[in-house]
Chains A and B, each alone.
Chain A
Amino acid sequence: MMRVFSGEEVTAAVRRLAISAACDLEPDILEALLQARDRESSELSRNVLELLLENADIASRERLPVCQDTGIAVVFVELGREARVDGDLSVAIEEGVRRGYRDGYLRSSVCDPLTRINTNDNTPAVIHLEPVAGDGLTLRLLPKGCGSENMSALTMLPPSAGKSGIISYVVEQVVAAGSNPCPPVVVGVGVGGSFEKSAYLAKKSLCRPLGQPHARPDAAELEAEILAGINEKGAGVHGLGGNNTALAVHLELFPSHIASLPVAVNIQCHAHRHKEISL
């Protein structure tokens, strides 16, 4: 028996996710900011971390967005093979984004790439659909701000570059990004696959609970080495100095062609907004 979800159910869920993602930081990022404050070496940066925690508190209590850049809505959809959505899934998601951004007083930040004319309802969303086992439907919304998104990068390394090549490339990108992406950042890294697959993995890795290491020990080790490499450079919170430039590195792997080693870096700001719901 196919389980059927209504389009209206999807729309209502996306609307709620959009508003809540903008105003309520998840416990994982709040915990990471608290820990960063406690180990911060620079007094100025510690004070700024204090203000960021206070900002999260104000946002949640006063129902204001944590950041005015309420992002382009990136939606990861996992649809069970024994489930379907009545009607058009994309249309239902777009309508949820439209209502969420309107009803939550969120900023419309999406425009035509050439004319730069704003679409005024923050649509279209960027939707990634993945079929999975079972009869469920999981929606993950990442409102992605572009101070950090603009600092993303991708390279096709020669396979001979190996692990050290991956580490130095990622560290270099985060250091070059400096204060632009609002550090302390979360660094998503996609290694392997093809050109576009690595970028997808880098973005998807940001959905993982913050700081949870990769299940594969060699990948987890790589994450730890990249994190240490970034933080020893001392750019710090907002580039103001200190030992908290990055809070976590999330790396995802996918087999690549024998001739290729794609590496994609997607940077996320400290306002690491992500919400999910399983229907």
Chain B
Amino acid sequence: MLWGVVMPKMSPGSRFLQQLRQVEVPFNPEVVAGLKAGELVSLNGVIYTGRDQTHRRLCALLDEGKELPVDLRGQLLYYVGPTPPPPGRVIGAAGPTTSYRMDPYTPRLLELGLTASMGKGPRSAEVRQAMLAHRAVYLATIGGAGALLANCICKSELVAFADAGAEAMFRFEVEGFPAVVINDLAGNDFYRLTACSAAG
């Protein structure tokens, strides 16, 4: 064992995860309204992924007046670029990337009806405003917990932009995927409540 302690079968971490409120994704409108900044929840269902390249390309498609590969209405977009799946695995490590890099693109996706995004780190004032205007929330999951989060993903399918490699768009089926609500519909920002207000 790594640090000289044998991990019990049900570790304190997994016990803690099992106690979380289970929430279905994509969120229905009542669920979104019930999410409170600071609450740690467990996501179950379908989410889509995208990071820098996927965002750049989605917005390029919009610029050209073309249709997006996925109808984003009501969906949750997870900012992740996983490692390649080793043989026999659904996915490699799959923790969140830093969200502010998606800020320039996010308001356009919210206009299309995207209901939630998930990454790590605070969002810009423009994104926070657009989230309130379009009744969307922002969640953070656990940065640097790529192996643990990989085990919460039961299925992964390529959706678009295959040539972007890890930056392609995937559809994940998740089970017991932990996330903290950062921005809720009431306009609360959990990072601000904890004195951590980087990047405005």
Q: Interface of A with B (CB < 8 Å)?
A: 24-25, 27, 30-31, 34, 44, 47-48, 50-60, 62-70, 105-109, 116, 118, 120, 147, 150, 175-180, 182, 233-236, 238-241, 269-271
B92 is contacted by which of A47, A64, A147 (Cβ under 8 Å)? A64
A selection of 11 A-B contacts at a CB cut-off of 8 Å is: A30-B3, A50-B16, A57-B11, A64-B86, A67-B95, A67-B143, A68-B81, A107-B83, A118-B164, A233-B195, A240-B180
Instruction: Let me know if B190 is at the binding interface, CB within 8 A.
Output: yes
Q: Type the 1/0 row for B135-148, where 1 means its CB is closer than 8 Å to any CB of A.
A: 00000101111111
Asked whether A236 lies within 8 Å of B147 as measured between CB atoms, the reply is: no
Q: Interface on chain B toward A: helix, strand, loop, or mixed SS?
A: loop
- Cβ–Cβ contact A51 & B165, under 8 A: no
Task: Tell me the B94-140 residues at the A interface (CB within 8 Å).
Answer: 94-95, 97-98, 100, 120-122, 140
Bound complex: CA A226 to CA B176 (Å):
38
For B16, what are the chain A residues with a Cβ–Cβ distance below 8 Å? 47, 50-51
B18 within 8 A of A: no
Q: Is the interface of A mostly helix, strand, loop or mixed?
A: loop
Known contacts A51-B145, A65-B147, A239-B196; A108 and B166 CB within 8 A of each other: yes
Answer whether A59 and B146 are a contact pair too, CB < 8 Å, given A70-B83, A176-B198. Answer: yes
- Asked if A182 and B143 sit within 8 Å, CB to CB, the answer is yes
Residues of A within 8 A of B147 (CB): 55-56, 58-59, 62, 64-66
Complex CA gap A100/B122 in Å reads 33
Q: Which of A66, A179, A180 counts the most chain B CB atoms within 10 A?
A: A179
Q: How far is the CB of A139 from chain B (nearest CB, A)?
A: 23
CB pair A105 B2 closer than 8 Å:
no
Contact call A68/B83, Cβ cutoff below 8 A: yes
With an 8 A cutoff between CB atoms, is B28 at the interface? Answer: no
In whole angstroms, what is the CA distance A235 to B196 when docked?
A: 5
Fill in one digit per residue for B78-95: 1 if any A CB lies within 8 Å of its CB, else 0: 001111111001001111
A239-B123 Cα distance, complex, nearest whole Å: 13
Q: Which of A50, A64, A182 contacts B12 (CB 8 A)?
A: A50
Residues of B within 8 A of A (CB): 1-3, 7, 11-14, 16-17, 38, 40, 52-53, 80-86, 89, 92-95, 97-98, 100, 120-122, 140, 142-151, 164-167, 178, 180, 190-191, 193-199
Question: Most chain-B Cβ atoms within 10 A of its Cβ — which of A30, A57, A120?
Answer: A57
Known interface pairs A67-B144, A150-B98, A235-B194. Does A107 touch B84 (Cβ–Cβ under 8 Å)? yes
**CB atoms of B85 and A147 under 8 A apart:** no
Interface centre among A70, A175, A177, A180, by most chain B C-beta atoms within 10 angstroms, is A180
Q: Are B166 and A236 touching (Cβ within 8 A)?
A: no
Q: Which of B1, B148, B166 counts the most chain A CB atoms within 10 A?
A: B148
In the bound complex, do residue B194 and residue A59 qualify as a contact, i.e. CB atoms below 8 Å apart? no
- Rank and list the top 9 A-B pairs by shortest CB-CB distance, nearest first: A178-B198, A241-B194, A54-B13, A239-B196, A59-B147, A182-B143, A55-B148, A235-B196, A180-B121
Q: Are A48 and B121 in contact (CB under 8 A)?
A: no
Bound Cα distance A34, B1 (Å):
14
Do B144 and A271 touch (CB < 8 A)?
yes
Q: Which residues of chain B come closer than 8 Å to A59, judged between CB atoms?
A: 93, 146-147
Find B166's partner among A67, A109, A182, A235 (CB 8 Å cutoff). Answer: A109
